[in-house]
């Protein structure tokens, strides 16, 4: 064999090196993308709860699917491509199916959310086009400063109207953060803590506090004082197609204790499924229902999954969905727009409809009183506010908003 015919040692082709380096960089880039996804998804779940569990899982499936497709390109193994393609398709198909399911079971129904159907921002003080009544308050009730006030959603119009009548506009413009609204479940928390530190809140507008809220205040050495502000009706409503117009207190208890399984069990010739919606614990309306039920146990509420802090799944009470067989409860002021649109019907209870006249006379059985609640007897500007709300001018303002003066 001649020297020219002898086999030469094979050397790696330099032309393959860029392709190999490119594949390695592609895998590293995919890994970095996967890590970035886990980081931001984790931050969102832990602190902001932007993603519900299904969304997180679908996005995760899509990212892993894309990563596997990169691995197939880098290694040439078709198994990675098949699994990656399946995950990518699933990450698209599952959210689309869930969206259709959500629409079919929830979104296509009119709802009464926990904040009611009223646009509360139309009641901001001193706005030119707000829905607040004009009120000339006598000088002895005018604020010297601006107390820190908080109101339940349904009572925000009273809070805002009182601030507009008693406060100076320029002071409100610089300290508007002192006038706020929120859910009843946490309405008294800052007020209850006021005995052990700086006052987080000078007064709140709300229903009478629950036993638990009173106990929390007493634990902090706070004795809550209540000044009557307004009267409203605790109402029950059904879909406009439901033929029922009146229920008795006994029938309400049968429905919310679970003894009544269908509308026919309470004497209503209606074949739609009976769906009694409820509210979250310690909300004003749920507390009112508990008082109405007395010692009668309440059936477990209709639930829906939500994503909570630290990424856990917990069951939250579903908002009222206006299905044909649904029944829900709230306060008359909350459900105003759906009632006026003819989508829900307010029920008479024990033969009395929740009208202003029946609320004023007490003929409607479920009348609720709302209060200005303070940590101890009101003082300073809060005392002037309490006196104004009891005055003829304040009572007229409450009536003009749409409530009944106490």
pTM of this structure: 0.69
* Residue 225 DSSP label: E
Distances (CA, A) of 246 to 70, 237, 252, 253, 349: 65, 10, 10, 14, 6
Closest CA to 58 of 96, 31, 107, 32: 96
pLDDT for the residue numbered 189: 72
What are the residue boundaries of the structural domains of the chain, listed by start? 16-107, 111-406
Q: In this structure, are residues 311 and 55 in contact, taking their beta carbons and an 8 Å threshold?
A: no
Residue 157 parent element (H or E) = helix 156-166
Q: What are the φ and ψ backbone dihedral angles of 2, each rounded to 5 degrees?
A: -75, 160
Instruction: Output the tens digit of pLDDT for each of the chain's 406 residues.
Output: 555 555 555 555 555 566 666 667 666 766 676 666 666 555 555 444 444 556 667 777 777 777 777 777 767 777 877 887 887 787 778 778 777 877 877 778 877 776 666 777 888 999 988 989 988 899 999 999 999 999 988 889 999 999 999 999 999 999 999 998 877 666 777 676 654 444 478 899 988 887 777 787 777 777 888 999 999 899 999 999 999 999 999 999 999 999 999 999 999 999 888 999 998 877 778 888 998 998 899 999 888 765 433 333 456 788 888 889 999 998 888 777 778 878 889 999 999 999 999 999 999 999 989 999 988 889 999 999 999 999 999 999 999 998 999 8
pLDDT for the residue numbered 105: 74
Cα dihedral sign for 83, 88, 91, 92? negative
pLDDT for the residue numbered 34: 62
Residue 224 Ramachandran class (φ > 0 left, ψ -120 to 50 alpha, else beta): beta
Closest CA to 352 of 372, 370, 332, 379: 332
Closest CA to 139 of 160, 168, 175: 168
pLDDT for the residue numbered 307: 42
- Tell me which fold the domain 111-406 belongs to: D-Maltodextrin-Binding Protein; domain 2 (3.40.190)
């Amino acid at each position: 064999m001649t020297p020219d015919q002898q086999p030469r040692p094979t050397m790696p082709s330099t032309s393959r090196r860029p392709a190999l380096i490119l594949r390695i960089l592609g895998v590293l880039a995919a890994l970095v993308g996967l890590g970035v996804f886990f980081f931001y998804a984790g931050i969102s779940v832990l602190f902001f709860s932007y993603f519900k569990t299904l969304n997180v899982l679908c996005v995760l499936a899509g990212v892993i699917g894309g990563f596997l497709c990169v691995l197939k390109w880098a290694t040439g193994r078709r198994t990675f491509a098949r699994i990656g393609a399946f995950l990518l398709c699933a990450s698209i198909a599952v959210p689309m199916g869930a969206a259709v399911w959500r629409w079919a079971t929830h979104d296509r129904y009119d709802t009464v959310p926990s904040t009611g159907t009223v646009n509360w921002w139309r009641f901001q003080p001193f706005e030119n086009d707000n829905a607040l009544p004009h009120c000339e308050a006598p000088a002895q009730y005018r604020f010297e400063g601006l107390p820190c006030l908080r109101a339940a959603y349904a009572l925000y119009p009273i809070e805002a109207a009182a601030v507009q009548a008693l406060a100076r506009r320029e002071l409100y413009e610089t300290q508007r953060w002192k006038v706020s609204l929120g859910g009843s479940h946490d309405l008294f928390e800052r007020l209850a803590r006021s005995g052990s530190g700086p006052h987080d809140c000078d007064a709140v507008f709300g229903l009478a506090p629950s036993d638990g809220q009173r106990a929390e205040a007493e634990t902090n050495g706070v004795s809550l004082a209540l000044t009557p502000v307004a009267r409203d009706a605790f109402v029950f409503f059904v879909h406009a197609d439901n033929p029922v117009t009146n229920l008795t207190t006994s029938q309400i208890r049968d429905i919310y204790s679970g003894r009544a399984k269908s509308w026919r069990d309470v004497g209503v010739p209606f074949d739609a499924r009976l769906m009694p919606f409820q509210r979250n614990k310690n909300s004003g309306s749920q507390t009112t229902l508990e008082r109405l039920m007395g010692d009668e146990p309440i059936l477990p509420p209709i639930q829906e999954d939500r994503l909570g802090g630290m990424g856990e799944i917990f069951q939250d009470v579903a908002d009222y969905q206006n299905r044909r067989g649904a029944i829900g409860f709230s306060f008359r002021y909350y459900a105003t727009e759906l009632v006026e649109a003819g989508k829900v019907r307010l029920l008479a209870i024990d033969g009395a409809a929740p009208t202003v006249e029946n609320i004023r006379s007490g003929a409607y059985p479920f009348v609720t009183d709302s209060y200005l609640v303070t940590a101890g007897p009101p003082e300073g500007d809060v005392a002037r506010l309490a006196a104004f709300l009891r005055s003829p001018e304040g009572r007229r303002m409450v009536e003009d908003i749409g409530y009944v003066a106490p």
